[in-house]
Chains A and B, each alone.
Chain A
Amino acid sequence: MSNSSKVQKIQGRAVVLRGNDIDTDRIIPARFLRCVTFDGLGDHAFEDDRLQDPNHAFNQGANAGASVLVVDDNFGCGSSREHAPQALNRWGIRALVGGSFAEIFFGNCVALGIPCLKMGAEERTRLMAAIKANPGAELEIDIASASVTVPGAGSFQGEIPAGPQRQLLDGTWDALAVLLESASQIDAVASALPYTHRFQA
C-alpha cells in the first residue's frame, strides 16, 4: 500500500465483535511480531481469543469474507504495533465502526487508508441489531457523511474527525508525499532548534 487512493465508500458484510478495551496484544499476539514483513499476519488475527472461544466472531463461518468490523469502546488499546491493523486488513477488514478507538491504533489505520468511524452507544446498538436482523447484508459506509447504511434497515450516523476524513476523501491518508513537500522548511525548523547543534554557540 504505497500509493494513496481516495477512500470514499466501503461496501461489504459486517462482523460484530463485542467487548470494551480489546487490546492489540489480543488482535495480534506478540509472538507473531517476530517477522520482518507483515505478510501472513491475517491468519493469526485474534488467534489466542479464537482458540479459547469457539464462538468468537472470527471463528464463525458466516463472518468469513466480512470487510467491516463493528466493535465497542477503546478498541485497539495498548501496544503501538501496526501489525494489529495490518493483521485485520489482511484478514479482510477495510473499515471499522466502534464506540471509540485508542489513538495510536486509529492513526495506524488512517495511515493504511482504513477508516474508523466512531458511533455513539445507542446508534451502535441499533446498528448491531440491524446487522443481526439482516445476516449477510452488504453494508455501505459513506465517509463524506460518516454514515453506515444497512439495506432494508436504514442509515446509522457515526463521526470521523475532519482531518482524517479529508485525508481519506482526498486520497492523502498516506502522509509521506505531503511531508516530503516541505524540505526547506524542515531544514529551517531543524537548524532553529538549539539541540540539533548541541547548543554550541
Chain B
Amino acid sequence: MAASLFDKVWEAHTVRELPSGQTQLFIGLHLIHEVTSPQAFQMLEERGLKVRFPDRTFATLDHIVPTGSQVRPFADALAEEMTQHLHANCQKHGIRFFDLASGLQGIVHVIGPEQGLTQPGMTIACGDSHTSTHGAFGAIAFGIGTTQVRDVLATQCLAMAKPRLRQVRVDGDLAAGVYAKDVILAIIQRLGVKGGVGYAYEYAGTTFDRMSIEERLTVCNMSIEGGARCGYVNPDQKTVDYLRGRPHAPGDADFDRAAKWWLGMASDQGATYDDLFRMDAGAVEPMVTWGINPGQSVGVSQKIPRTAEVEDDSRAGHLEALEFMDFKEGQPISGVPIDVAFIGSCTNGRMSDLEIAADLVRGRKVHPRVKAMVVPGSMLVAIEAQKRGLDKVFQEAGFEWRAAGCSMCLAMNPDKLQGREICASSSNRNFKGRQGSPTGRTLLMSPAMVAAAAIAGEVTDVREMF
C-alpha cells in the first residue's frame, strides 16, 4: 500500500505502543545546546542514569555565544557558566561537542546539515523548536522540552502521539525577488499561527522540487511558526548530492546503498493525507510581518489590514499588535523606517542567504540611521563567505561582520535591540521583546528584503533594487 514518508519513518522508528496510546519512538539523531540541556543532565544524574547512545547525540554552542569577542572566559559570567556546564557534561558522557575550539561551531540547525548528520528517513530531536528545519532532508524532526531531552539522553526514545499529516502543495515558479522565506511567510499568513497544531507538514509541489536544500531548510525551519511541530520535503537527487562527502555522511563504499534507502523513504505515489492545502507560487510577493506573530504579515506592496477586515477571534490580537508596533491600520508597510538590520539565524544564516544579500549591497551604502549586521550561521559558513570576499562586501557597505551564533534572533547574548528600535530581520519570530528590548519591534522578511531595507533606511520592495 502507498505510504507517506511520515508513515514510513514513524513505523521504522517505533519501539512499541505505550499504555497511554502514545508511541515509543526511537530518535536517530539528538542535538543539544547550552540552554535546554544542563537541567536535563542534572535530572539524569539525580536518577543515576547514563547516556544510552552517546554517539547519537551531538552538541554545539549557539544561543548565548557572543558574536563579537569570543575569547574565553566570556564577558557574561552566566554565558560562561552555561558553556562550562555543556563542556563538562559532554566530556563526562562521551558526547561530541562542536565547540569554538573545534572550528565547527555554529547554530545547531546549521551545523547538523553541514556535517552530514541530518539525513533522510531519520527521526531527529533537539531542545529547540526550530528543529523542524532538518525536515528539509526528509527527516521527521521536532523540538522538545528539557524533560524530554532527559528522556532521549537516557533511552534514545520519546513518548509521542502521532500527529495527522497535511500536504502543503505549492506549484509554480517564484518571481525574481521572491524567496523561500516569502513562501513560508505566505503559508503561515494563510493558515494562521495555530493552523498546523496537531499536524506534520509535507511540503510538496514543483516550487519545493525546484528549491535548493538551503531554501528547503528555510521553509521547514518556520513550520513551527505555523503551529506544525515538524515539516518535511521528500528527499530527491539534490538531497543525495548535498550529502555526498559530508563528514558524517556514509563513506564512498556505502554511499549508494544509503542513497537508495533515503530515496526509498520518500512518499509513494498515491499516499494519503489527512488534509491538503494548495498555494500558487506566482501569487507570492516579498512578505513583511507588521505585527507580533509570524502570521501577521502582508506583501510589500500591500497595506496593514484594517481591524474590521480581520476575523472576529483575531481582532483583539490585531489591535494589540497595532498598538505595540505603533502602526496604523491601512498604513502601507513599504516606507516604514527601520533602525536595525539583522541578517542571520537558523532561518536565513546560510551561504546562499549571505550571497543574495551581498549581491544587493555590493557598491551601495547602509543608510546612516541604520545599524546593520551580518551573523553567519556557523564558523564554516563564515570561512566560506570570507573566502569569497563577502565579509568585505558587507563591511564596505557599512554592515558589521560578526562571528557565528544565534545573535539577535533571540538576544540571549550581547546583540540586542534598544528601546523602541525597529529591526528588519531575517529571523523567524517577531514576538514582543524577542530581540532583547521588551519594547523593541521586529519586521520579519527575506535576507534580500533586509538588505534592501538597510540601504533604503526603510521597508522597500527589493524588486525595485535589481
Contacts and interface: CB of A to CB of B under 8 A. Distances in A.
Contact of A31 (B82, B320, B436): B436
B157 A186 contact: yes
A18 B197 CA distance: 20
A182 B16 contact: yes
Contacts of B63: 33
Contacts of B250: 195, 198-200
Interface in B105-144: 119, 121-122, 127-129, 131, 142-144
Interface in A147-189: 161-164, 166-167, 170, 172, 174-176, 178-180, 182, 185-186, 189
B216 interface: no
A128 interface: no
Contacts of A37: 38-39, 42
Contacts of B16: 182, 185
Contacts of A33: 35, 63, 412
B291 to A, nearest CB: 10
B75 to A, nearest CB: 13
Nearest to A190: B26
A180 B155 contact: yes
B46 interface: yes
Given A33-B35, A111-B147, A179 B254 contact: no
A142 B85 CA distance: 41
Q: B43, B78, B433, B438 — which one has the most chain A CB atoms within 10 A of its CB? A: B433
B13 A193 contact: yes
Interface residues of A, number: 68
B151 interface: yes
A67 interface: no
Contacts of B46: 2
A198 B13 CA distance: 16
A103 B198 CA distance: 7
Given A31-B412, A166-B21, A25 B434 contact: yes
A166 B38 CA distance: 30
Q: B131, B150, B155, B229 — which one has the most chain A CB atoms within 10 A of its CB? A: B155
Contact of A189 (B26, B78, B79): B26
B39 A48 contact: no
Contacts of A189: 12-15, 26
Contact of B229 (A34, A73, A104, A186): A104
A8 interface: no
Interface in A70-98: 73-74, 77-83, 85
A176 B254 contact: no
Nearest to B439: A52
Contacts of B412: 30-31, 33-34
Interface in B235-275: 250-251, 253-255, 257-258, 261
Given A182-B16, A186-B26, A77 B159 contact: no
A88 to B, nearest CB: 13
Contacts of B82: 34-36
Interface stretch (B309-317, B393-401, B457-465): B309-317
A137 interface: no
Interface residues of B, number: 88
A102 interface: yes
A36 B47 contact: no
Contacts of A20: 313-314, 316-317
Nearest to B25: A189
Given A77-B193, A78-B429, A195-B258, A104 B313 contact: no
Interface in A24-67: 25-26, 29-31, 33-38, 48-49, 51-52
A33 B317 CA distance: 26
Nearest to B295: A21
A62 B442 CA distance: 34
A193 B431 contact: no
B265 to A, nearest CB: 11
B145 A107 contact: yes
A18 B437 CA distance: 23
A190 B25 CA distance: 11
A170 B151 CA distance: 19
Given A33-B35, A190-B53, A194-B258, A185 B122 contact: no
A193 B28 CA distance: 9
Q: A77, A182, A200 — which one has the most chain B CB atoms within 10 A of its CB? A: A77
A175 B317 contact: no
Contact of A164 (B20, B128, B254, B432): B20
A200 B254 contact: yes
A51 B313 CA distance: 26
Contacts of A172: 19-20
A11 interface: no
Interface of B: 12-16, 18-22, 24, 26, 28, 35-36, 38-39, 42-43, 46-47, 52-53, 56, 63-64, 76, 78-79, 81-82, 85, 119, 121-122, 127-129, 131, 142-148, 150-151, 154-159, 161, 163, 193-194, 197-198, 224, 227, 229, 250-251, 253-255, 257-258, 261, 293, 313-314, 316-317, 320, 410-412, 429, 431-434, 436, 438-439
22 contacts: A21-B194, A25-B433, A26-B431, A29-B433, A29-B438, A30-B410, A36-B42, A37-B38, A80-B143, A82-B147, A104-B224, A108-B147, A111-B147, A111-B148, A163-B21, A164-B20, A166-B20, A175-B159, A178-B159, A180-B155, A182-B16, A198-B254
